[in-house]
Amino acid sequence: MSLPNPAGSRPARPVLRQSFSSSSFIHDHQQYKPPAPAPAIVTQTIGNVLGNLNESPPSAISRNANPISPDPKRVTESGIIHSIFHHQEGLLPQGTPKLVATLFYKSSEPVHPHVHPDSSPNARPGDKLPHPTVPVGSAPTLDIEKIPREPPAPEPEPLDHLYGPYVSQLCLTNFLQIIESLPTPYHRMNTSHRCLDQHDQPRVVEVTFSPPPNPDYLTFADLRKHESIWRFEREWNVEVVLQKESVFRQHKRLVVFDMDSTLIQNEVIDEIAKFIGVEKEVSEITERAMNGELDFSASLKERVSLLKGVPADVFEKLKSVITIAPGARELCKGLKKLGCKLAVLSGGFQPLAEWLAGELGIDYAHANHLEIDPTSQTLTGKLVPTYPIIDANQKRSLLHSIAAENGVDIVQTVAVGDGANDLLMLHAAGLGVAFKAKSKVQLEAPTRLNSESLLDILYLFGLGNDEIQELIA
């Protein structure tokens, strides 16, 4: 049986003591320690330390012990770079996807009608705040009494009233901060921007950023409707149109339009109803149908039945009261110069769709055909059964068929409309724009734009103001 080792026969094993560690990371690194006072300078060398290692067991090392005196006149470079970025990588890898955001300042249609108290000379202490309203495009109805939920949250601070009625530098900075906060997990982002209309106080600014948010965490469809972007739009009185950057964004070949309340400012069936005094009944059905509250085909037949007995030449008389939407002529002219095919796909009626196509140089016109009594030359109140009803499904089918007929890839198509019967074609097109649309449509459409002029759609192609003016000259 072996005897236990006598005490002191070999050095004791070193033990990790609390005195080894420090509560400060900086104090544990020599180059950041304060220089030792003069009387306490240690003159030991490495050789002395190693030579005495076998002579006596190591004693507890004090946290402040330093066998090599630091140079008080110099801070040693550790060679470690502390950064969350890879500094060796200058540019993103070739082929990294990009997103383009086009910011439109809504100068002619302010979201905040009341002047901010800090900047209004007419504001008085006794003035009452306006009643809360529902922003256009944020709910299916603008009537607060019809919304079955809590009252809307207070409006964001109208920052455009403080920093300028245009896309200001601070507005752009705020947008970039929001975009950089969205991707998860975090990664470095490259951004650039262009003022498309003018460099001084621009109304339209194009921002390109890459890479886009990781689709595993935030899809492109969800990004378009993100709450942070919605609040940014409200605060700065702007609209943001997001697109994936590609050669097809800039080079479109087919553009299709709705007619009523898009290319023209009228609802044709309401104008016809004025002739026989049923405007109120027809317009109510029209509004509900465009908001998606009624089946379009059924509502169309119901409205057409109210037109029975109207003279067939009513369309000739209507031409004098039809108002073409601002920018429609210029937009169609510019698109034709770019080589685009144009089509009007309308839930209205064929005679006026064909007339409008002739006025604007549009290649295709598809609308509903009203049945005419050949004897009395009046409307029968029915649709011609041999022609399909131009409803939401038919508009989408026509978009695909016209594109196929002209050898156009669907990603090179644009659809513009304002009603619920336009939603399917807006989602099917490469770029679907709800232009000054009904609230429900603005909520569900891929993109929305509430500009005063249809010509603003050309900015979405990446064209600047000088290029647009050259196209429409």
CATH number at residue 414: 3.40.50.1000
Which residue has better confidence, 392 or 94?
392
Evaluate whether residue 375 is within a structural domain. Answer: yes
Last residue of a domain, one of 201, 228, 249: 249
pLDDT number for residue 392:
93
Average pLDDT over residues 267-292: 77
Evaluate whether residue 80 is within a structural domain. Answer: no
Band (119; pLDDT cuts 50, 70, 90): very low
Considering only CA atoms, which of 180, 225, 205, 191 is closest in space to residue 102?
A: 205
Is 362 exposed, middle or buried, given 0-12, 13-18 or 19+ CB atoms closer than 10 A? buried
The reply to whether 264 and 238 lie within a common domain is no
The CATH code of the domain that includes 168 is: 3.30.70.260
Establish how many alpha carbons lie within 13 A of residue 305's alpha carbon, considering only the half-sphere containing its beta carbon. Answer: 8
Cβ–Cβ < 8 Å for 413, 406: no
The reply to whether 371 and 329 lie within a common domain is yes
pLDDT of 116 over the 70 cut = no
pLDDT of 81 over the 90 cut = no
pLDDT number for residue 82:
52
β-strands 190-195, 254-257 pairing: unpaired
What lies within 8 Å, CB to CB, of 233 at 6+ separation is 239, 240
The reply to whether 276 and 244 lie within a common domain is no
Give per-residue pLDDT as tens, 326-352: 999 999 999 999 999 999 999 999 999
Q: Which residues pair with 341 in a beta bridge?
A: 254
Give per-residue pLDDT as tens, 432-444: 999 999 888 999 9
Band (273; pLDDT cuts 50, 70, 90): confident
Strands annotated E in 151-285: 190-195, 204-210, 238-244, 254-257
Mean pLDDT lowest for which of 88-97, 249-258, 278-287, 363-372? 88-97
pLDDT number for residue 257:
98
Evaluate whether residue 25 is within a structural domain. Answer: no
Band (293; pLDDT cuts 50, 70, 90): confident
The reply to whether 266 and 230 lie within a common domain is no
pLDDT of 102 over the 60 cut = yes
Q: Which residues pair with 257 in a beta bridge?
A: 344, 416
Band (402; pLDDT cuts 50, 70, 90): very high
Average pLDDT over residues 243-262: 95
pLDDT number for residue 30:
44
CA distance 62 to 21: 10
Last residue of a domain, one of 225, 249, 273: 249
Residue with tokens 């020599």: 30
Cβ–Cβ < 8 Å for 392, 424: yes
What lies within 8 Å, CB to CB, of 453 at 6+ separation is 326, 327, 330
Is 202 exposed, middle or buried, given 0-12, 13-18 or 19+ CB atoms closer than 10 A? buried
CA distance 208 to 78: 38
User: What is the 8-class DSSP label of residue 412?
Assistant: G
Secondary structure of residue 44 in the 3-state scheme: coil
Evaluate whether residue 243 is within a structural domain. Answer: yes
Which residue has better confidence, 5 or 95?
95
Highest mean pLDDT range out of 168-177, 263-272, 329-338?
Answer: 329-338
Which residue has better confidence, 82 or 162?
162
Residue with tokens 């929305």: 448
CA distance 240 to 224: 8
Q: For Cα atoms 357, 358, 361, give the angle at the middle one, nearest 5 degrees.
A: 75
pLDDT number for residue 33:
46
Evaluate whether residue 86 is within a structural domain. Answer: no
Evaluate whether residue 420 is within a structural domain. Answer: yes
Which residue has better confidence, 49 or 106?
106
pLDDT number for residue 284:
76
Is 367 exposed, middle or buried, given 0-12, 13-18 or 19+ CB atoms closer than 10 A? buried
Which residue has better confidence, 169 or 95?
169
pLDDT of 470 over the 90 cut = yes
Here the tokens at position 169 are: 């530098």
Here the tokens at position 168 are: 């200001």
Evaluate whether residue 82 is within a structural domain. Answer: no
The reply to whether 284 and 349 lie within a common domain is yes
The reply to whether 238 and 178 lie within a common domain is yes
Phi, then psi, of 7 in degrees rounded to 5: -60, 135
Which residue has better confidence, 22 or 77?
77
Give per-residue pLDDT as tens, 134-145: 666 666 666 666
Average pLDDT over residues 258-262: 95
pLDDT number for residue 203:
95
The reply to whether 274 and 422 lie within a common domain is yes
Cβ–Cβ < 8 Å for 345, 268: no
Evaluate whether residue 66 is within a structural domain. Answer: no
The reply to whether 188 and 306 lie within a common domain is no
The reply to whether 429 and 317 lie within a common domain is yes
Considering only CA atoms, which of 18, 14, 19, 15 is closest in space to residue 63?
A: 19
Cβ–Cβ < 8 Å for 349, 315: yes
pLDDT of 83 over the 60 cut = no
Own/partner long-range contacts of 62-70 (Cβ < 8 Å, ≥24 apart): 62/19, 63/19, 63/20, 63/21, 63/22, 63/27, 66/30, 66/33, 66/36, 66/42, 67/42, 68/30, 68/42, 69/35, 69/36, 69/41, 69/42, 70/30, 70/31, 70/33, 70/35, 70/36
The reply to whether 316 and 400 lie within a common domain is yes
The reply to whether 385 and 439 lie within a common domain is yes
Band (132; pLDDT cuts 50, 70, 90): low
Band (62; pLDDT cuts 50, 70, 90): low
- Of all residues in the chain, the percent with pLDDT exceeding 70 is 69
The chain-wide mean pLDDT, for the chain, equals 80
Band (6; pLDDT cuts 50, 70, 90): low
- As for how many domains the chain has, the answer is 2
pLDDT of 10 over the 80 cut = no
Active site amino acids = 258, 260
Which structural domain range is residue 391 located in?
254-472
The reply to whether 177 and 243 lie within a common domain is yes
Last residue of a domain, one of 214, 234, 249: 249
Give per-residue pLDDT as tens, 207-239: 999 888 888 889 999 999 999 999 899 889 999
Give per-residue pLDDT as tens, 16-34: 544 444 444 444 444 444 4
Average pLDDT over residues 108-134: 54
pLDDT number for residue 111:
53
Average pLDDT over residues 116-132: 53
